[in-house]
Amino acid sequence: MHTSRTACSEKPNKRAARLFPLLLLGLVLAFCLSLLVGSAQISVLDSVRAWLRGDLSDPGCRILFYVRLPRALAAVLSGAALAVSGVVIQNVLNNALAAPNIIGVNAGAGFAVLLVIALFPSVSGLIPASAFLGALFASLLIYAIAARTGASRVTITLAGVAISSVFTACSNAVKTFFPDTIYNANAFFVGGFAGVSYRNLSPAWAVILLGLLLALLLSGDMDVLALGDETAQSLGLAVRPVRLILLVTASLLAGGAVSFSGLLGFVGLIVPHILRRFTGARHRVLVPLAALGGAIFVLLCDTLSRTLFAPYEIPVGIVLSLLGGPFFLFLLLTRKGGRIE
């Protein structure tokens, strides 16, 4: 019996060991593809040569280094952040149906960002901090509902949808009262990377890297937490403080991504579910793989969104919603109770 269990536990380890280099290679290929293709045909080699010569007036050089490269970096950062945020939130709530966009975390961050843009339009440095605080408030709110009411997982998910609707209504109110200051709010709500620059990524990239590091460091605690509160406490884990730190981590990741990508949806739902089939619920493996998988997923979706109807471009948020909506319905119908397996 012991030999059988050992063999079963080795299978996910072997699959994960094979998956990591494949995802790393996939990320490199997806990143290169994002730089190579687009509505404008450019020679990457000529553009790099022009950049090395210092000829920044070259059109190909400007497209490559000031349009496609920051956009690809934004897709990598937001994809990794939202996927890992989804892993963390699902662990904290023990709910396979939870994700930053579904339970209102993204919407809370989005409302805070729009409010800051409306009230302090000239202070762009407040955007990452406001996105984090908005995401954290939404996370704490949904966790309070789960902790106080003891509601079922599906009920918690529906409560999250209601909270998301409230934050969306508040955001629409901000747009109504401050129509002149939020001219690009519609693009923000859909989500995308059109017009993103290196300036938009700072300091969000540092916030996201900090969140990824925290998630990796706390992955062992997440494994213990997945065993249940009583078992985790018997093993010496301080359950409530760990859950609070995990919620802060998820909020750092979601808030950092929302600050420059807008309200991208379903990344934190799709990627963790696919990868769990290969890794199981072992978070020490799942967290780094989710970061790689999320980055690849958003990169490919963004490349598709700007090349499918070139020279016209559709926001990547539309592509993600078209893929994520049916996926969520499938999980809702097949995952009875929403328990993580």
Q: Which stretch of 3-7, 26-30, 102-106, 333-337 has the lowest confidence by average pLDDT?
A: 3-7
First to last CA, the chain: 21
In a domain, 85, yes or no: yes
pLDDT of residue 3: 40
Q: What CA–CA distances, in Å, run from 38 to 303, 307, 310?
A: 8, 6, 8
Q: Which is more confidently placed, 151 or 325?
A: 325
Cα separations in angstroms, 103 against 97, 142, 149, 320, 336 = 9, 7, 16, 17, 18
Inside any domain, residue 15: no
For residue 181, the model assigns a pLDDT of: 62
> What are the angstrom distances between the C-alpha of 225 and each of 5, 101, 210, 236, 237?
21, 23, 21, 11, 8
Average pLDDT over residues 260-284: 87
What is the DSSP-derived secondary structure letter of residue 281? T
Query: Residue 58: is it exposed, middle or buried by C-beta count within 10 angstroms (0-12/13-18/19+)?
Result: middle
Look at residues 292, 289, 314 and name the one whose alpha carbon lies nearest to residue 304: 314
Contact between residue 275 and residue 286 where contact means Cβ atoms under 8 Å apart = yes
* Per-residue CA distances from 100 to 27, 161, 267 (Å): 23, 11, 9
CB 163 within 8 A of CB 142: yes
How confident is the model over 332-339, as a mean pLDDT?
Answer: 62
Query: Is residue 2 over pLDDT 80?
Result: no
Has residue 330 got a pLDDT over 90? Answer: no
Whether the predicted pLDDT of 132 surpasses 80: yes
Q: How many beta carbons lie within 10 A of that of residue 240, not counting itself?
A: 11
More confident residue, 329 or 56: 329
pLDDT of residue 340: 56
Section 269-290 average pLDDT: 88
Average pLDDT of the segment spanning 172-191: 76
Average pLDDT over residues 148-161: 68
Is residue 325 one of the residues assigned to a domain? yes
CA quadruple 229, 231, 233, 239: dihedral positive or negative? Answer: negative
Average pLDDT, the chain: 83
Phi, psi of 47 (to 5 degrees): -65, -40
Say whether pLDDT at 113 is over 60.
Answer: yes
Q: Other C-beta atoms within 10 Å of 32: how many?
A: 13
Query: What's the whole-number mean pLDDT along residues 319-338?
Result: 77
Residue 4 lies in a domain: no
- Label residue 152 by pLDDT band (50, 70, 90): low
Cβ atoms of 259 and 113 within 8 Å: the answer is yes
- Report if residue 35 sits inside a domain: no
Q: Which residue has the tokens 């750092």?
A: 252
Give the CA count within 13 Å in the CB-facing half-sphere of 22: 10
CB 276 within 8 A of CB 286: yes
Residue 248 has pLDDT above 70, yes or no: yes
What are the tens digits of pLDDT across the range 134-144?
888 888 888 78
243: domain CATH number is 1.10.3470.10
pTM comes to: 0.85
Provide the percentage of residues in the chain whose pLDDT is more than 70: 88
Residue with tokens 């904290």: 92
Among 94-98, 113-117, 151-155, where is mean pLDDT lowest?
Answer: 151-155
pLDDT for the residue numbered 33:
92
* Residue 307, pLDDT score: 87
State the Cα–Cα distance between residues 275 and 269, nearest whole angstrom: 11
Is it the case that residue 298 has pLDDT exceeding 90?
yes
Residue at 49 is within a domain: no
Give the chain's radius of gyration (CA, Å).
Answer: 20
Q: Is the per-residue pLDDT at 157 higher than 80?
A: no
Q: 6-15, pLDDT tens digit by residue?
A: 444 445 566 7
Average pLDDT over residues 81-104: 86
The reported pLDDT for the residue numbered 153 is 62
Q: State yes or no: pLDDT of 103 exceeds 60.
A: yes
The pLDDT of residue 242 is above 70: yes
Residue 31 falls within a domain, yes or no? no
Q: To the nearest 10°, report the CA torsion of 106, 162, 151, 271.
A: -40
Among the listed residues 217, 227, 331, the one whose alpha carbon sits nearest the alpha carbon of residue 269 = 331
DSSP secondary structure string for all residues of 284-329: HHHHHHHHHHHHHHHHHHHHHHHHTTTTS---HHHHHHHHHHHHHH
Band of the pLDDT at 229, cuts 50, 70, 90?
Answer: confident
pLDDT of residue 131: 85
Alpha-carbon span 251 to 86, nearest angstrom:
10
Q: Both tokens of residue 25?
A: 């290679």
Highest mean pLDDT among 106-110, 125-129, 206-210: 206-210
Q: Domain count for the chain, please give it.
A: 1
Residue 55 lies in a domain: no
Domain containing 139 equals: 74-335
Nearest to 266 by CA among 219, 321, 191, 186: 321
